[in-house]
Amino acid sequence: MQYGDMRENLVLEPVSGKALPVYKGETLRIIQEVGGQCVDFDCFNLHDYREYMSVGHMRRQGIRVVQGDYALSAPPRSNLMMWIAEMPESCVTDLIGSRCSPDLFEAAWDFDIHTNCQDTLAESIGEYGLSPDDTHDSFNMWMNTGWDDRGRWDIRRNTGKKGDSVDLLALMDVLAVPIVCGSGDVTGISNYSLKPIRIQVFEGSPETELATEEHLHRFGRLKNQRSLGDYRIQGIKTDRELRRDPNYEPRFPNFPLRFEEFEVELTPEDRKDVDRMKAAGKADDDEDAIRSGAFNWFTAFNTEPSPFANKPIMGN
Partner 1 sequence: MDETPDKVTIRLTQQQIEILDRLKHQGELGDEYPEILMGAFRRYADHSLGKGRFGNVGRA
> How far apart are the C-alpha atoms of 219 and 226, rounded to whole Å?
14
Q: Does 315 bind partner 1 (CB under 8 A)?
A: yes
Taking CB under 8 A as the criterion, which residues in 227-256 touch partner 1? 254
- Single residue of 271, 284, 309, 312 touching partner 1 by CB under 8 A: 271
Q: Does 277 bind partner 1 (CB under 8 A)?
A: yes
Q: Does 258 bind partner 1 (CB under 8 A)?
A: yes
> How far apart are the C-alpha atoms of 309 and 300, rounded to whole Å?
11
Q: Does 306 bind partner 1 (CB under 8 A)?
A: no
Of 248 and 301, the one with the shorter C-beta distance to partner 1 is: 301
Q: Does 304 bind partner 1 (CB under 8 A)?
A: no
User: Which residues neighbour 94 within 8 Å (Cβ) at sequence distance 6 or greater?
Assistant: 63, 64, 140, 143, 144, 145
Binding window for partner 1 (CB under 8 A); candidates: 71-79, 120-128, 182-190, 266-274 = 266-274
> How far apart are the C-alpha atoms of 277 and 269, rounded to whole Å?
13
Of 48 and 286, the one with the shorter C-beta distance to partner 1 is: 286
- Single residue of 291, 309, 310, 312 touching partner 1 by CB under 8 A: 291
Q: Does 149 bind partner 1 (CB under 8 A)?
A: no
Q: Does 296 bind partner 1 (CB under 8 A)?
A: yes
Of 66 and 266, the one with the shorter C-beta distance to partner 1 is: 266
Give the nearest distance from C-beta 144 to partner 1 in angstroms.
30
> How far apart are the C-alpha atoms of 28 and 90, rounded to whole Å?
18
User: Cβ atoms within 10 A of the Cβ of 124, count?
Assistant: 22
Give the nearest distance from C-beta 270 to partner 1 in angstroms.
7
Q: Does 210 bind partner 1 (CB under 8 A)?
A: no
Q: Does 311 bind partner 1 (CB under 8 A)?
A: no
> How far apart are the C-alpha atoms of 118 and 220, rounded to whole Å?
31
Are 77 and 225 contacting, i.e. CB atoms less than 8 angstroms apart? yes
Of 55 and 274, the one with the shorter C-beta distance to partner 1 is: 274
Give the nearest distance from C-beta 151 to partner 1 in angstroms.
23
Q: Does 282 bind partner 1 (CB under 8 A)?
A: yes
Q: Does 192 bind partner 1 (CB under 8 A)?
A: no
237 burial type by CB count under 10 A (0-12 exposed, 13-18 middle, 19+ buried): exposed
- Single residue of 153, 276, 310, 312 touching partner 1 by CB under 8 A: 276
Q: Is the dihedral of CA 100, 189, 109, 194 positive or negative?
A: negative
Of 246 and 253, the one with the shorter C-beta distance to partner 1 is: 253
> How far apart are the C-alpha atoms of 53 and 221, rounded to whole Å?
18
- Single residue of 112, 148, 149, 263 touching partner 1 by CB under 8 A: 263
Q: Does 302 bind partner 1 (CB under 8 A)?
A: yes
Beta strands in 75-192 (DSSP E): 80-86, 139-141, 145-147, 153-155, 165-170, 174-180
Distances (CA, A) of 3 to 11, 91, 107, 169: 20, 21, 45, 10
> How far apart are the C-alpha atoms of 83 and 171, rounded to whole Å?
7
Distances (CA, A) of 138 to 50, 54, 145, 213, 275: 16, 8, 14, 26, 46
Of 4 and 75, the one with the shorter C-beta distance to partner 1 is: 75
Binding site for partner 1 (CB under 8 A): 254, 257-268, 270-271, 273-274, 276-277, 279-280, 282, 286-287, 290-291, 293-298, 301-302, 313-315
